[in-house]
């Protein structure tokens, strides 16, 4: 099996202390064949991610690591955009010249409020608002894959427990159908398996529903922010994909999805 990890952060992201070369060395040590760095980026001055990203530094480090680890690790250039549907044209102007391999789209804020704050409105209202925002994103944003589709449960589960798919089935189906219509994939993000949640983003049931609806483009990523997390639970993510009926997971090159057979 060709193992990939398509969601990783270095100190080019505001919330990671990790130098890129340390992340690469950790990936090699854990038997990962290909990684994609997906640094946080936002053009919204109200977002926590705003102002941190230095693309010249990021791309120079990528080039250096690609040379240093050639033959040991394939390294792709990516980005994770926060709320890309809100400043779509500006994101295109900024990112199109960079020749990226992969773009993740994520919702971390709603109306400039962090998801923890959104939960103050109550479980049902917060989840509905979150999924509606994800739907708006997948409807118009220029992205390749939806990051951690049900991320809100990271903050909700200590108080409310894990949500039930049937409680939000209409909006989640709408998100997945729109993704399939626009040739946008979803990821199995394993970061939830490392903590108290003990569940990937999204849940097994959502991955199964995506397959049932005709979805095919599926990536796997650890969402690592430190070397010890890179590659974590990737094999488990592949098992989830296979159990849901997927024959392939995907990697990307110049924003084109490429199949990897599950073996």
User: What predicted TM-score, i.e. pTM, was given to this entire model?
Assistant: 0.97
Q: What is the CA radius of gyration of the chain?
A: 17
Residue 105 has φ and ψ, to the nearest 5°, of: -115, 135
Q: What is the pLDDT of residues 192-239, one digit of tens each?
A: 999 899 999 999 999 999 999 999 999 999 999 999 999 999 999 999
pLDDT at 48: 76
CB 127 within 8 A of CB 168: yes
Nearest to 74 by CA among 98, 55, 53, 101: 101
pLDDT at 133: 98
Mean pLDDT for 74-91 is 95
pLDDT at 195: 85
The tokens of 110 are what?
């709603």
* Cβ-Cβ contacts under 8 Å for 174 (sequence gap 6 or more): 135
- Looking at the domain covering 4-261, what would its CATH class be? alpha beta
Question: Domain boundaries in the chain?
Answer: 4-261
Q: What is the pLDDT of residues 103-115, one digit of tens each?
A: 999 999 999 999 9
pLDDT at 260: 98
């Amino acid at each position: 099996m060709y193992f990939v990890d398509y969601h990783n952060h270095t100190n080019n992201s505001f919330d990671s202390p990790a130098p890129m070369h340390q992340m690469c060395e950790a990936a090699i040590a854990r038997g990962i064949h290909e990684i994609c760095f997906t640094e946080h980026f936002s053009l919204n001055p109200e977002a926590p991610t705003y102002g941190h990203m230095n693309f010249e530094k990021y791309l120079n480090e990528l080039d250096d690591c690609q040379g240093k680890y050639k033959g040991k690790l394939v390294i792709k250039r990516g980005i994770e955009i926060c709320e890309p549907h809100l400043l779509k044209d500006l994101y295109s102007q900024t990112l199109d010249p960079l020749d990226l391999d992969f773009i993740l789209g994520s919702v971390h804020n709603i109306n400039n409020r962090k998801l923890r704050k959104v939960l103050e409105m109550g479980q049902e209202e917060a989840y509905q608002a979150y999924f509606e925002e994800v739907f708006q994103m997948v409807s118009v944003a220029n992205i390749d894959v939806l990051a951690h589709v049900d991320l809100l449960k990271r903050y909700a589960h200590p108080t409310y427990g894990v949500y039930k798919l049937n409680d939000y089935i209409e909006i989640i189906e709408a998100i997945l159908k729109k993704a399939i219509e626009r040739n946008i994939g979803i990821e199995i993000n394993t970061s939830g398996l490392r903590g108290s949640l003990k569940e990937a983003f999204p849940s097994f049931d959502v991955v199964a529903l995506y397959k049932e609806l005709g979805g095919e483009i599926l990536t796997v990523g650890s969402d690592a922010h430190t070397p010890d997390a890179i590659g974590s639970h990737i094999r488990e993510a592949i098992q989830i994909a296979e159990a849901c009926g997927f024959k392939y997971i995907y990697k990307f090159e110049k924003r084109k999805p490429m199949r990897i057979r599950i073996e």
